[in-house]
A and B are shown apart, each in its own frame.
Chain A
Amino acid sequence: MEKELLPNTNRRMIYQYIQALDSGDLDSIERILQSAQRDAELDRMINEINQEYASELGLTPLAQTSAKVQELLEQYFTQEEVVVDTQPLTVGDVAARMTSDQGLPKSHREIGKSLLNNPLVLPEWLSLQAVRQIGAKLRLADERFLRTFRDTALQMMMGRGQAQMAATRAKRSHRKFASPKATKSGK
């Protein structure tokens, strides 16, 4: 009977949550859990489902699980496996990305090939004017190519920045797990 009383939205969310759990759809799980943060009733229902799932799957008590997770984190993250490219971006780096991008026109990929080993370092302030100047140095006049080149370079710069941030966070997270007694002031 209780089912009938649930708001339609919550019923739909619960249904989606169960489906997401079954299919391992992490994005949907994350989205629904986010909604549950703003809805106490939905949060309660999700907790019940989680407990049900845990007992169904014979999962270990939470404390034991977290000890195991901590052990695995220490095992894997001490290796510092995350490799982040911190070198300045060069014309050759961008050309390599463009050459392998099948979504770009063939003519752009061809120009990219001719620049593959070019070590010229790109300026951090990568305006279109700056790229045009580089283009003039390299005798590249195709405006569309230069615009695409600039976009690709900026995307790569941002990607590297994000990778750096992700690595920093992973390390920080590892430190937290590796030394649980460490205080926040030590960050």
Chain B
Amino acid sequence: MTSIKTADSAKVTTAVQSVWQQSGFEKPTPGIVPLNELISAYPIWFAEIPYLTPRNAKIFLAKKMGQTPVLYLNSDENLSGFLFAQQNRSVFTGCIFVDANDILARRRFSAAHELGHYLLHFLPVMQELAAAGEEEVMATEGLVYETGNDADNTNASDAWAGKQIVLPGLEIAENIMLFTEPWQETEANQFAAELLMPTETCQTLIAQHQVPFGRKREFLANRLSSELLVSREAITWRLASLGIGG
């Protein structure tokens, strides 16, 4: 009997803490999280692309890298986020793309979600493969939101059939594909939520606002979503997970 793997919250929290440390912060900064600064603590570049699809991502990559990537990305499915990482000598360099047409709160959540995948799911596998002597270690992942609701950030999941970790490709046809699992999506979402809405920051803001607004989650969510540049749904979910309001 096989057991179903579930999200590891402690692992996610540790990963979020490591991001702050890697960026030179002792703890999360108050107010809007400086996401660009956090991402750029890693060898990752970030771009916003209008009408993001796997095919457009590949075209953009080819233009920027001056080299068509050895990747099979020809789908026209709309994506909100895209992650590509590859081994460069001893380091795993990568890029995160988000759809420029998405609203700001969603773009930020998508980028944080992809950073979560990079740290929690891709790096460990890629490092293991590199240690085993594999030479062509690459990974890609695409993010599609389940619903058409722009603000619904908490139900992010991969619906793109091409979501894969491309393991060392001997030939394109011989590539082994590892599909991201639901628990990995949950972890990436938790990672994004904890990164963009740090516990301490939420508690500080709530302490400031609960006098005029009370502890009604709906009112707090309205206020905090604009102060943290996240969607109302995302902050509502986060407040619930922190056991705040009702």
Contact = CB atoms under 8 A, between A and B. Distances in A.
24 contacts: A97-B66, A124-B43, A124-B90, A124-B91, A127-B40, A127-B41, A128-B37, A129-B23, A150-B45, A154-B45, A157-B93, A158-B88, A158-B93, A158-B95, A159-B64, A159-B66, A161-B86, A161-B93, A162-B68, A162-B69, A163-B67, A168-B135, A169-B70, A169-B169
Contacts of B65: 155-156, 158-159, 162
Interface in B60-107: 61, 64-70, 74, 86-91, 93-95
Given A169-B171, A187-B170, A27 B40 contact: no
B50 to A, nearest CB: 16
A129 B44 CA distance: 12
A161 B40 contact: no
B74 A31 contact: yes
Given A162-B67, A168-B135, A187-B170, A157 B41 contact: no
- Please classify the interface of chain B as helix (H, G, I), strand (E, B), loop, or mixed, using the class held by over half of its residues: loop
A142 interface: no
A154 B44 contact: yes
A129 B39 CA distance: 11
B37 to A, nearest CB: 7
Contacts of B95: 154-155, 158
B150 to A, nearest CB: 28
Interface residues of B, number: 34
- Please classify the interface of chain A as helix (H, G, I), strand (E, B), loop, or mixed, using the class held by over half of its residues: helix
Interface of B: 22-24, 37, 40-45, 61, 64-70, 74, 86-91, 93-95, 135-136, 138, 169-171
Contacts of B91: 124-125
A150 B64 CA distance: 13
Contacts, number: 85
Contacts of A159: 64-67
A166 B68 CA distance: 9
Please list the 8 inter-chain residue pairs (A to B) with the smallest Cβ-Cβ separation, ordered nearest first: A159-B65, A128-B40, A159-B67, A124-B91, A155-B64, A151-B45, A162-B67, A154-B45
A59 interface: no
B67 A154 contact: no
A164 to B, nearest CB: 9
Nearest to B172: A169
Given A34-B74, A155-B65, A158-B95, A127 B170 contact: no
Given A125-B91, A156-B66, A173-B171, 11 more contacts: A124-B43, A124-B89, A127-B40, A127-B41, A128-B41, A129-B23, A150-B40, A158-B65, A158-B93, A161-B88, A162-B65
Contacts of A69: none
